Amino acid sequence: MFARQARYTLVLVGLLAAAAPAWAQQQGYYERDGAFRLRMGLFTPDGESEYWTGKELEFTGEAADLENIVVGTDYLLTLSPWTGVLFSGSFFEGDTTQSYIGFEDNFGDRIRHDTTLDLGTFTAAFVFQLAGEEVPIRPYLGFGGGLYVWRLEESGDFIDLDTLEIFDATLESDGAVLGYFGVAGVEVPLGRSFSLLAEGRWHQAEDELSGDFEDFGTIDLSGLEITAGLSWSM
């Protein structure tokens, strides 16, 4: 997991380094009253809650195995050359196959099921620009919160621990909860209206399971999001 994130970060750094000469050749400097942004990258669930801890005791794998692509859109409302409000929406779907630890079926095969987590976020953050508009690389920091909409599904073969019989089932739970996040990133202007961006967000959210997972405690929706994208001003 960490090796993959490291490679991905190196790619982002390479893109930013390649963009810097383009900024140096432009006339004037990057300026905007607001900006739209498109981002894509990786989201890695943290998995620090009763549900994930219980699964690791019974099944192979861990929450981080759900790591997958996340896509997001933003609108940055500029308040001053140094501050703004970042409105964001993103979507993630991760899935992995897990099997029971210490159990096999009558043919000696593992007893497997697929675990899928869908997560949509609708957030707002207050951001601080750490350098002026005339510099080639513009770092920023921010903090905010919003609504985390999620859906959990487990589908496949399971064991009735009272009878040790194997049965097929699809188990589901969903919900929506408030959470918060921090963001740190950089923008590299490509002209007066466009820039490349790379950023990391740490999300923190947790909700009570319901439906088919009603007795499984809480589910941790937190995780690390690393993305890159394009920003254009109006």
Sequence spans of domains, the chain: 2-233
HSE-up of residue 218 (Cα within 13 Å, Cβ side): 10
Q: What is residue 191's predicted lDDT score, i.e. its pLDDT? A: 80
Q: What is residue 14's predicted lDDT score, i.e. its pLDDT? A: 52
Helix (H) or strand (E) holding 7: helix 2-25
How long, in residues, is the chain?
234
Lookup: tokens for 202: 């740490």
Q: Mean pLDDT over residues 29-50, rounded? A: 87
Amino acid at residue number 182 = G
* Mean predicted lDDT score pLDDT of the chain: 88
Q: What is residue 104's predicted lDDT score, i.e. its pLDDT? A: 92
Whether 23 has a pLDDT exceeding 90, the answer reads no
**Which tens digits make up the pLDDT trace of 56-109?**
999 999 999 999 999 999 999 999 989 999 999 999 999 999 999 999 998 889
Whether 15 has a pLDDT exceeding 80, the answer reads no
Helix (H) or strand (E) holding 8: helix 2-25
Q: Mean pLDDT over residues 105-126, rounded? A: 96
Q: What is residue 131's predicted lDDT score, i.e. its pLDDT? A: 85
* Of 30, 19, 69, residue with least CA distance to 193: 30
Whether 186 has a pLDDT exceeding 90, the answer reads yes
Helix (H) or strand (E) holding 6: helix 2-25
Whether 26 has a pLDDT exceeding 70, the answer reads no
Q: Mean pLDDT over residues 115-144, rounded? A: 93
> What confidence tier does 28 reach under pLDDT thresholds 50, 70, 90?
very low
Q: Which residues contact 106 (CB under 8 A, 6 or more apart)?
A: none
> What confidence tier does 7 reach under pLDDT thresholds 50, 70, 90?
low
Name the 3-class secondary structure at 64: helix
* Of 136, 133, 132, 139, residue with least CA distance to 24: 136
User: CA-to-CA distance for 93 and 70, rounded, in angstroms?
Assistant: 7
User: CA-to-CA distance for 225 and 212, rounded, in angstroms?
Assistant: 28
pTM score over 0.75 = yes
Whether 4 has a pLDDT exceeding 60, the answer reads no
Q: What is residue 32's predicted lDDT score, i.e. its pLDDT? A: 63
Tell me if the domain spanning 2-233 has CATH number 2.40.160.20: yes
User: CA-to-CA distance for 210 and 213, rounded, in angstroms?
Assistant: 5
> What confidence tier does 27 reach under pLDDT thresholds 50, 70, 90?
very low
Strand ranges, E, within 9-137 = 34-45, 68-80, 83-104, 110-129
> What confidence tier does 51 reach under pLDDT thresholds 50, 70, 90?
very high
Whether 29 has a pLDDT exceeding 50, the answer reads no
């690390």: which residue's tokens? 224
> What confidence tier does 24 reach under pLDDT thresholds 50, 70, 90?
very low
Q: What is residue 115's predicted lDDT score, i.e. its pLDDT? A: 98
Q: Mean pLDDT over residues 5-28, rounded? A: 48
